[in-house]
Amino acid sequence: MKITITKDNIMNKLTKVGITALAGSLASFSAHAVEMSAAGSAKVVWNSPDSSEVSGNPMGMNTSIAFTGSGEVNGYDTTLTIVNNDKNTGLSSASLAVDLGDMGKVTFDQGVGAGGISTIDDKTPTANEEVWDGLDAVASSANGLVGGGNSGVIVYANSMGDANLSVQVSKGGSVANSDDARVSGSAVSGTSWDFALTSASLYEGLDAGVGYGQIANTHQSTAAGDDVNKHGVVYANYTYGMTTFGVTMSEIEDGAEGGQDEEAFGFGIALNINDNLSVSYGERDVDHINPGAADVEESMEGVAIAYTMGSAKITLQNNETSNNGGTTGSNDENTEIALSLSF
């Protein structure tokens, strides 16, 4: 759905989409038209965990709708995005971006994931989801996935020749604040920063990138180690014909005294059989480095099949892991069949 708003009909049109004040603010600063658009998706899922888990109802649905308003504010292209997922009564995430032309783009991100190192945490090619998707999450482990979150952060992005740079900075942890209020009482008070540098023009068919960041932890006011965790990642994907092969390597250095570092290596291969059908296989190993104890290697693998018909997609994904989250003997498996629609 796309709505063009002019001076004559701006109030009527905005009332219909329920965001009068928002787009009205954009229009009041500009003599140009403000364009509003809405896009949505729905995903119906049948999910099967391994035999050791209580399955309950295997069927579920994920829904999402995003409103985007764009126009000129004081001569700069400005874009506001509001996303609502599932049954949330308020917004799930939002971002406000100002394009400064050759000086780059500045975005305040409230959970959309506009930039930074987390955008390249795992770039191995896949026909659907990553090999760790749907597996049991372990609170004490990042599973080698870099990044400190995307809520309440400032993102700066710019292009330098054929390279794209995205830098993210946050204060006091990545937390989504509401109604222009600050979050008090957070255990994290330090400053976090990270970046991603990528290019798809180094060599024909090659997409590569590197990222690094220092993420504030909970030790700003203690002597228990460094007050930041260090994150690094590098990836390379090569496409030849209808086949893409790629690898991702990452490392997380836990700054806490006696913290558990993680080193991850993953690869994937995806094959586009035709314009509609694609398949992929991938593996990912995470070394959980335990100070004063034996290290544990977690091994994941997954296979995915996707068939696309216009705005509809049917997918099958099977992922499994051993030594889940760095716990010896803890295994997990998940199979998912999904129908996704975009509108």
Is 133 in the same domain as 14?
A: no
What's the rounded Cα separation, in Å, for the pair 222 and 206? 45
Amino acid at 50: D
- Rounded mean pLDDT of 123-130? 97
CB-CB neighbours of 257 under 10 Å? 12
The total number of residues written for the chain in this structure: 343
- Tell me the per-residue pLDDT of 245-269, one tens digit each, with 9 for 90 and over: 999 999 999 888 778 899 999 999 9
- Tell me the per-residue pLDDT of 169-184, one tens digit each, with 9 for 90 and over: 998 776 665 555 555 5
Under the banding of pLDDT at 50, 70 and 90, the label for residue 8 is very low
Please state, rounded to an integer, the average pLDDT across all residues of the chain. 85
Is 136 in the same domain as 228?
A: yes
| Total tally of structural domains belonging to the chain | 2
Is 78 in the same domain as 126?
A: no
What's the rounded Cα separation, in Å, for the pair 326 and 336? 24
- Tell me the per-residue pLDDT of 85-117, one tens digit each, with 9 for 90 and over: 875 555 678 999 999 999 999 999 998 999 999
Is 79 in the same domain as 138?
A: no
For the cut 70, the answer to whether the pLDDT of residue 281 exceeds it is yes
Residue at 155 is within a domain: yes
Is 143 in the same domain as 77?
A: no
Is 172 in the same domain as 71?
A: no
CATH of the domain at 152: 2.40.160.10
What's the rounded Cα separation, in Å, for the pair 275 and 109? 34
Residue at 44 is within a domain: no
Residue-range definition of the domain harbouring residue 285: 100-342
Task: Indicate the SS3 state at residue 263.
Answer: strand
Is 71 in the same domain as 212?
A: no
Above pLDDT 90, what percent of the chain?
Answer: 60
Give the start-end residues of each E strand in the chain.
2-5, 34-49, 59-73, 76-85, 93-99, 105-110, 151-160, 163-171, 191-199, 206-216, 228-240, 243-253, 261-272, 277-289, 296-309, 312-322, 332-342
Residue at 170 is within a domain: yes
Backbone angles phi, psi at 18, to 5 degrees: 75, 20
What's the rounded Cα separation, in Å, for the pair 115 and 5? 29
Residue at 168 is within a domain: yes
- Tell me the per-residue pLDDT of 131-174, one tens digit each, with 9 for 90 and over: 999 998 887 788 899 998 888 899 999 999 899 999 999 987 76
Residue at 25 is within a domain: yes
Is 78 in the same domain as 163?
A: no
Q: Which of 81, 98, 115 is the last residue of a domain?
A: 98
Is 312 in the same domain as 293?
A: yes
Is 23 in the same domain as 148?
A: no
Is 191 in the same domain as 265?
A: yes
Is 130 in the same domain as 166?
A: yes
- Is the separation of the CB atoms in 218 and 187 below 8 Å? yes
Angle between helices 20-28 and 10-17 (to 10 degrees): 150
Q: Where are the alpha helices (DSSP H) in the chain?
A: 10-17, 20-28
Sequence-separated contacts (24+) of 200-205 with Cβ below 8 Å: 200/162, 201/162, 202/162, 205/238, 205/239, 205/240
> What contacts 213, CB < 8 A, 6 or more positions away?
116, 117, 146, 147, 148, 168, 192, 193, 194, 195, 230, 231, 232
pLDDT at 222: 58
Residue at 53 is within a domain: no
Residue at 46 is within a domain: no
